[in-house]
A = this chain, B = another copy of it.
Amino acid sequence: MASAQLPETHVDVLIIGAGPAGLMAAAWMAHCGVKARIIDKRNSKIFCGQADGLQCRSLEIFDSLGFADRVWKEANHMLENPGPDGTIRRSDRIPDTIPGLSRFQQVVLHQGRIERFFLDNIKKHSKDSIKVERGVLPESLKIDESKVNDDAAFPVTVRLRHLTEEEATPPQQASASKVPHGLFRSNLVQENDEEKLLKQSESRAGQDEIVHAKYVIGCDGARSWTRQALGFELQGEATDFIWGVMDVIPITNFPDIRMRCAIHSAESGSLMVIPRENKLVRLYIQLKEVVPDASGRADRSKITPELIFGAAQKILSPYKLDYEYCDWWTAYQIGQRVGTNFSAHDRVFLAGDAVHTHSPKAGQGMNVSMQDCYNLGWKVALAAKGVVKRTVLNTYESERRRVAQDLIEFDHRFSRLFSGRPAKDLLDTEGISMEEFKDAFEKGNLFASGLSIDYGSSVLEAKSSADGVDDATQVASLVQSKQSLATGLPIGMRFNSFKVLNQADARPWHFQERLPADGRFRIVLFAGDILSPAQKARVDAFCTALDKPTSFLRRATPASATIDSVVEVLTIHSSPRTETELLRDFPEILHPYDEHTGWDYGKVFVDADSYHEGFGDAYKNYGVDKVRGCVVAVRPDQYVGWVGDLEDFGELERYFEGILVMQ
């Protein structure tokens, strides 16, 4: 059938793949009001198994979208690891999340629930306009290179095929297997099924359509069709280690079954225990019986739940281990790979497993994949809306490639420690000592929290120092920051959260709660001691500059929109709360007036003690001077972009001029 006869539609953003990464991208589109479609070749959601660990940072992100509370309530909370074990003695106990790192701790909840929360959230915020279209497969993708730099163009053309119910059913669900398994998605399976599916549906006419998109985001997994269509590759190696995974309700006398722990047996391999919701426990089990062949591939027909569980029983002996109920199982071969390219012309992007694969044990996969799209989604959304310049888009690859590389290095170290045998004694250098293991575990906890990410210098990250001493590579043309004014808010890292009180009603807020994912940049004005006349004069001068008709804030805001629609200004001051008055002491730009609803009471906060929830001590924790304050620019994804003095309005303006399309 010729394309000319096919139905053709236009959409700002087409998302291929509706796993956690694709759903995160769709969530941004919904929250930013961008016209988007999201397709998936499978006709069913995930109901069990798959990824499960959730980092602190992922919970912070869920909170910015509005559903962290649902996750926190349902999830199993991971509080403590008995350290690794040689002969099944407890060697140590350590907290699973480093205390004080985040207002959330690592939790475990299966992917199906996360996807449900995303779907509900996307439905609500897109007012039902973005729905996952299941059983829809991409057939071809073409980029019109002559138009990639044209802001108004739809340079990507994708041909889509609509499958029948039967075609879209994943193989395992069509099989007679009683316990769901994930082997069909495991990396033990090489072949992709797009070609087969297309062939099957060839004979039926009228199933195709042509979509013209401004942007396409490929979140279609480790065997990404999008990646292949772009001609890009994953680079890296598989190892000889094969692991099985089982989600069971264990019947056991092993005392630490409700703790996350690692068991190293002397000869039978290793086992990792991850307690989960609804009495379930996930077991990661090293399969010493299955060895890859000369081509490096394992015979997956040998892998059964019986084989996997038998291995677990051996490792845990002399403790007894049994189960009646198994929720899901799979197996995988450890390997680490990173994509050669993350985008084509900043028009088609790859995210999640499509650009990095690794072993699941460290609980990173779903998190890093979602975070790829938490980084990418707002950039694409705001570029599609004409709010940010297209140059912002290439920060996606520079920022996320480094994270992917760090991730596979972490995974490589972590997997070797887990799969290696324990050292017999101090002289046994080939074995893994328990000290080495514990050390890696603890360091891993920081990496695994997702909070150590530090994005490099770019148009979004003004890391050039105007402090004079910090940075010898200072380049005059770059926007200058003064990191020393807010030592607790490192430029490139996420805006940490401490409690502050609303000036108008004294309600305590974790400050991160005031940074929701709505696509807005933010200026956080640490106003300092507003009751000091000298400081008040500095604040007034800053606000006067901001409020001018020619300021970047006014120029970046469409005439018809409210003044806080592109960049929102939030204030935290340090004067005594009961001696300050919102309307008397703070310039209007900090609490804008609306003729229909009056003053805005939601933007000015105070660093003060609360009645019921303690003292956040925000100025101290953010490393900001309580009298003189400072100004911080924050990205829509909560990363700190710029820090400066109240007098550095010019640098702040240059920062935003580099990012925002001015009217």
Those 10 A-B pairs whose CB atoms lie nearest each other, nearest first = A251-B598, A258-B504, A258-B505, A79-B506, A95-B611, A80-B506, A77-B507, A324-B596, A258-B601, A249-B597
A582 touching B79, Cβ below 8 Å: no
The reply on A238 being an interface residue by CB < 8 A is no
> Contact string, A490-518, partner B, CB cutoff 8 A, digits 1/0?
00000000000110111110000000000
**Residue with the greatest number of chain B CB neighbours at <10 A, chosen from A78, A249, A251, A582:** A251
Q: Is the CB of B97 within 8 A of A612?
A: yes
A97 to B507, CA, bound (A): 12
Given contacts A99-B611, A612-B105, contact A249 B598 (CB under 8 A): yes
List 28 A–B pairs whose Cβ atoms lie within 8 Å, in order of A's numbering. A76-B505, A76-B507, A77-B507, A78-B505, A79-B505, A79-B508, A79-B610, A79-B612, A80-B611, A93-B578, A95-B611, A95-B612, A97-B611, A105-B611, A105-B612, A249-B597, A250-B598, A251-B597, A251-B598, A252-B598, A255-B581, A255-B582, A258-B601, A259-B505, A259-B506, A279-B597, A279-B601, A325-B596
Instruction: Looking at the assembled complex, report how far the CB atom of A438 sits from the nearest CB atom of chain B, in whole angstroms.
Output: 16
List chain B residues, Cβ under 8 A from A253: 583
Q: Does A269 contact B (CB under 8 A)?
A: no
Q: Is A89 an interface residue (CB 8 A)?
A: no
Question: Is A584 an interface position by the 8 A CB rule?
Answer: yes
Residues from chain B with a CB closer than 8 A to the CB of A257 are 504, 601
Cβ-neighbour of A79 out of B259, B324, B325, B507 (below 8 A): B507
Residue of A76, A259, A597 ringed by the most chain B CB atoms within 10 A? A597
A86 within 8 A of B: no
Which A102-144 residues have a C-beta within 8 angstroms of B?
A: 105
- Which residues of the partner chain B approach A275 to less than 8 Å between Cβ atoms? 505
List B contacts of A617 (CB < 8 A). Answer: none
- For residue A73, CB closer than 8 A to chain B, the reply is yes
Chain A residues numbered 257-276 whose CB sits less than 8 Å from any CB in chain B: 257-259, 275
Bound form: Cα–Cα A577–B76 in Å: 19
A289 interface residue per 8 A CB criterion: no
How near does chain B come to A359, taking the closest CB pair, in angstroms?
A: 24
Q: Report the bound CA distance from A583 to B254 in whole Å.
A: 9
- Inside 8 A of A258's CB, which chain B residues have their CB? 502, 504-505, 601
Indicate whether A69 reaches chain B with its CB closer than 8 angstroms: yes
Contact (Cβ within 8 A) B79 A69: no
CB distance from A645 to the nearest CB of B (A): 30
Complex contact B598–A80 (CB within 8 A): no
Which residues of B lie under 8 Å from residue A325 when comparing CB positions? Answer: 596-597
Task: List the B residue with the shortest CB-CB distance to A66.
Answer: B73
Complex CA distance for A610 and B325, rounded to whole angstroms: 32
Among A275, A581, A611, max chain B CB count under 10 A is at A611
Point out the residues of chain B lying under 8 angstroms from A584, CB to CB.
Answer: 255
| Inter-subunit contact A612/B99 (CB<8 Å) | yes
Give A58 Cβ to nearest chain B Cβ, in Å: 17
Contacts of A100 in B (CB 8 A): 612
Contact-size category for A = 35 or more
Q: In A59-89, which residues have CB < 8 Å from any B CB?
A: 69, 73, 76-80
A275 to B612, CA, bound (A): 19
Within the complex, what minimum Cβ distance (angstroms) separates A434 from chain B?
Answer: 18
Provide the bound-state CA to CA distance between A444 and B249, in Å.
50
**Chain A 212-261 residues near chain B, CB threshold 8 A:** 249-253, 255, 257-259
CB neighbours of A581 from chain B (8 A): 255
Known pairs A79-B508, A105-B611, A249-B597. 4 more at Cβ < 8 A?
A253-B583, A255-B581, A255-B583, A324-B597
Q: How far is the CA of A79 from the CA of B502 in the complex (A)?
A: 10
What residues of B have a CB within 8 angstroms of the CB of A610 in the complex?
A: 79
Min CB–CB distance A116 → chain B (angstroms): 14
- Cβ < 8 Å to B, chain A residues 351-407: none
Closest CB of chain B to A571's CB: distance in Å? Answer: 15
Contacts of A251 in B (CB 8 A): 595, 597-598
Nearest-neighbour CB distance to chain B for A581, whole angstroms, equals 5
**Cβ of A505: which chain B residues have Cβ within 8 Å of it?**
76-80, 258-259, 275
CA distance A95 to B612 in the complex (A): 9
A611 to B596, CA, bound (A): 47
Residue of B nearest to A578 (CB): B93
A608 to chain B, nearest CB (A): 11
What residues of B have a CB within 8 angstroms of the CB of A105 in the complex? 611-612
Closest B residue, CB atoms, query A79: B506
A258 → chain B closest CB, angstroms? 4
Which residues of B lie under 8 Å from residue A93 when comparing CB positions?
578
Chain B residues, Cβ within 8 Å of A97: 611-612
**In the assembly, what is the distance between CA of A578 and CA of B94, in Å?**
11
Inter-chain CA distance A324–B249, complex, in Å, is: 58
With a cutoff of 8 Å between Cβ atoms, the chain B residues found around residue A598 in the complex are 249-252
Enumerate A521-541 residues with CB–CB distance to B below 8 Å. Answer: none
Give, as a whole number of angstroms, the nearest-CB distance from A508 to chain B.
8
Interface centre among A79, A95, A601 (most CB of B within 10 A): A79
Shortest C-beta distance, A102 to chain B (Å), equals: 9
A512 vs chain B, min Cβ distance (A): 15
Residues of B contacting A76 with CB < 8 Å?
505, 507
| Chain B min CB distance to A429 (Å) | 32
How many angstroms between the C-alpha atoms of A488 and B257 in the bound complex? 34
Task: List residues of A (581-605) whose CB comes within 8 Å of B's CBs.
Answer: 581-584, 595-598, 601
Which of A73, A507, A583, A595 has the most CB atoms of chain B within a 10 A radius of its CB?
A: A507
Q: Chain B residues with Cβ under 8 A from A508's Cβ?
A: 79
Convert A34-47 into 0s and 1s, putting 1 for each residue whose CB lies closer than 8 angstroms to a CB of B: 00000000000000
Of the listed residues A80, A584, A601, the one surrounded by the most CB atoms of chain B closer than 10 A to its CB is A80
Shortest distance from the beta carbon of A247 to any chain B beta carbon, whole Å: 14
User: Roughly how many angstroms separate A612 CA and B584 CA in the complex, as a whole number?
Assistant: 39
Interface hits, A266-292 → B, CB 8 Å: 275, 279
